[in-house]
Chains A and B, each alone.
Chain A
């Protein structure tokens, strides 16, 4: 067997109620070390459930989830979550804490002393390209949407995780901010050597950012491959349909180009 994958799903299913509502159905998936993996699919396809299984916010009904080769069921969920960065859908910042307190929360929970936490917070504010002087003591409601999400990313990175999970992190932002932020994050991913799993419902974003893309539909994994492979025909009607949209957009854009 080759080197263990950063994250692995082995025949994982998740049901709610008495098993009648099956949200994930027999998912097997590996995310390689250092990989940027996008998970796409329509609303209700099970994307967020998949993400929450990785840091044990929920446990699977069947199957095994491994992080760094270790079965997460044998790991302490609290420690696991502190080791894995998480950027929440919406924003998920604590409204009663300042930017600095939000960013420093996980180091604080890990018992790092105040001075070290403060230095780390300063580093991260720089890293996500916020301004230390203007933003450090602000409250979340005093920030713009883009600034808030930068704080969300900084908080996820604060405890130097190897793995970062992102749940539609840039969904609510205007296109300009969204593009800038996603480019910035991709650069951080590469420079810090992270393994990232990002949920998005925007196929174009997935194609432009990710190394590999997993497509979920009604709880099933219906495609998994590089952007190139997915752009080529997978033989799956739903995937082809998904690929149509960005392709059409690209064609229209090309058509708009002024003749030289």
Chain B
């Protein structure tokens, strides 16, 4: 397994991912501590405040980490709009800031609870003695109560550190680079080496920080300056080591975004490699959700990403009418330019549309060839789609057009959807037309005679800030029309197979593109 090229790839990415992870979790921990520690002390003789604080922190704790992180994105988006209007300067709603805020909220409960518990647990006789020898309330707090409560407080800080480091892996979908990048990318591309690598790296980091904090704690307990210094130095060293690569590397000139599925990872890697060839450095923001990534482009937080005309048509333009492929392309490009100043740098030449698919055997048995045929079987069938599908306008359009009503709708990760359809766990899936697994799992893509699903041409979008950047647009031009659906399917199949990272597949794809261009000449 050590010889596996994916391990080498994972190690190559480690400085970047670990640096992002350490930076975001340590900042969040510091912020959480900085807020909850004074609050805990403030609430010491205020039982009502204490109850309210603990209740709020507990509620924050019960919100799943991913949801909490996701909630901060729209919140900050609104905040950014306000600050834009009031101060003329915007804050970034993506990545670092929302992650830090959400994770800091997570860090609050253990710190609050343990600080309060620690201070309440002080022997009243000792507190009385502190008053009796003539300490002011502040002196009593700093000289007697806090030092005595320190072991309990430290235990809370250690819990918070472990929670924050673990939860920070979920910051990837809102655009914060973290060790979660391994996990999310690995899950999308069935690269279990990556998933495992991400988990182990996060666990080791949490363990290391916990042990260093423990060392500092025993240093305080036993009044060993050496232990205290060793723990502090260890933490400092860890922080420096994690941040060094990020700081020493010059900031990338461009940022390429990717949604959380393998085709996007491959295409983002392809664009990144293409820009590197043209002498332009580019960083990555991987695993951004569909609407998050559009907002990020609009606000210039990323510079380039690949989207699909149908997505813009339905989600952004709120259109539900069906138009020919070329018209949609033209209208989308015009709308993006006019409404947001976003440039379309080119289209790859393939579509990745949603399509309803079922196993060939099943289709034969039911005698189903098109969605229209499916309609009267639907009430006895189960359909599965990705996280977005059932909330998208084309699903509504499909149901309206064909009068579809399924027995049940299930949401699942795309990776598991195809095998589930092949195995008969679900009957119909909302597949992607460019996905190589349609063929691999012997699925039949149903015709859409009423053309309820809009065309989904893959197009390269460029942020308003870079819309007239001729160096960038020039570098992207060779990609126009370079990939047909067969090539993309082949690439996607490779990306979901064992052994190849998206970067590897992108290199293979470039080779194929070059070969075809050569043949054409």
Contacts and interface: CB of A to CB of B under 8 A. Distances in A.
B139 A109 contact: yes
A244 to B, nearest CB: 33
A94 B134 contact: no
B148 interface: yes
A237 interface: no
Given A88-B125, A92-B125, A95-B148, A79 B130 contact: no
Contacts of A109: 133-135, 139
Contacts of A79: 134
A154 interface: no
Contacts of B139: 109
Q: Which of A80, A94, A106 has the most CB of B within 10 A?
A: A94
A81 B144 CA distance: 17
Interface in A131-167: 155
Contacts of B135: 78, 105, 109
Contacts of B143: 105
Query: Contact size class for B?
Result: 10 to 19
Interface string A65-107: 0000000000000111110001011101111100000000110
A100 B511 CA distance: 78
Per DSSP, chain B at the interface is: helix
Contacts of A81: 131-134
Contact of B133 (A89, A90, A95, A105): A105
Contact of A92 (B128, B134, B136, B147): B128
A96 B147 contact: yes
A196 interface: no
Contacts of B125: 88-90, 92
B89 interface: no
A57 B128 contact: yes
B131 A94 contact: no
Contacts of A93: 129
B126 interface: yes
Nearest to B137: A78
A55 interface: yes
Nearest to B139: A109
B128 A82 contact: no
A92 B144 contact: no
B147 to A, nearest CB: 5
A82 B134 contact: yes
Interface residues of A, number: 21
A57 B128 CA distance: 8
Interface string B128-163: 111111111001000110011000000000000000
Q: Which of A86, A89, A92, A110 has the most CB of B within 10 A?
A: A92
Contacts of A92: 125-126, 128-129, 132
Contacts of B144: 94, 96
B136 A86 contact: no
A79 B129 CA distance: 15
A109 to B, nearest CB: 5
Contacts of A78: 134-136
A105 B147 CA distance: 15
Contact of A57 (B126, B132, B147, B148): B132
A82 B126 contact: no
Nearest to B130: A94
A106 B134 contact: yes
Contacts of B148: 95-96
Q: Which of B131, B136, B139, B147 has the most CB of A within 10 A?
A: B131
Q: Which of B129, B135, B136, B143 has the most CB of A within 10 A?
A: B129
Contact of A88 (B129, B134, B136, B147): B129
A13 B143 CA distance: 34
A103 B214 CA distance: 31
B482 to A, nearest CB: 71
A55 B126 contact: no
Nearest to B135: A109
Contacts of B132: 55, 57, 81, 86, 88, 92
Nearest to B136: A78
A94 B132 CA distance: 12
B126 A106 contact: no
A96 B148 CA distance: 7
A57 B135 CA distance: 11
A106 B133 contact: yes
A75 to B, nearest CB: 12
A92 B147 CA distance: 16
A82 B133 CA distance: 6
Contacts of A96: 144, 147-148
Nearest to B220: A96
Contacts of A110: 134
A238 B135 CA distance: 39
A78 B133 CA distance: 9
Given A78-B136, A109-B133, A94 B126 contact: yes
Interface string B108-135: 0000000000000000011011111111
B124 to A, nearest CB: 11
Contacts of B129: 86, 88, 92-94
Q: Which of B126, B131, B134, B148 has the most CB of A within 10 A?
A: B134
B116 to A, nearest CB: 19
A57 B126 CA distance: 14
B479 to A, nearest CB: 67
A100 to B, nearest CB: 13
Nearest to A55: B132
A109 B132 CA distance: 12
A89 B128 CA distance: 10
B222 to A, nearest CB: 11
A77 to B, nearest CB: 9
Nearest to A82: B134
Nearest to A93: B129
Contacts of A82: 133-134
Contacts of B126: 92, 94-95
Interface of A: 55, 57, 78-82, 86, 88-90, 92-96, 105-106, 109-110, 155
Given A57-B128, A86-B132, 7 more contacts: A57-B132, A78-B134, A81-B131, A86-B129, A88-B132, A95-B148, A105-B143
17 contacts: A55-B132, A81-B133, A82-B134, A86-B132, A88-B129, A89-B125, A92-B126, A92-B128, A92-B132, A94-B144, A95-B126, A96-B144, A96-B148, A105-B135, A106-B134, A109-B133, A109-B135
Closest 5 CB pairs of A and B: A82-B134, A92-B129, A81-B134, A86-B132, A96-B147
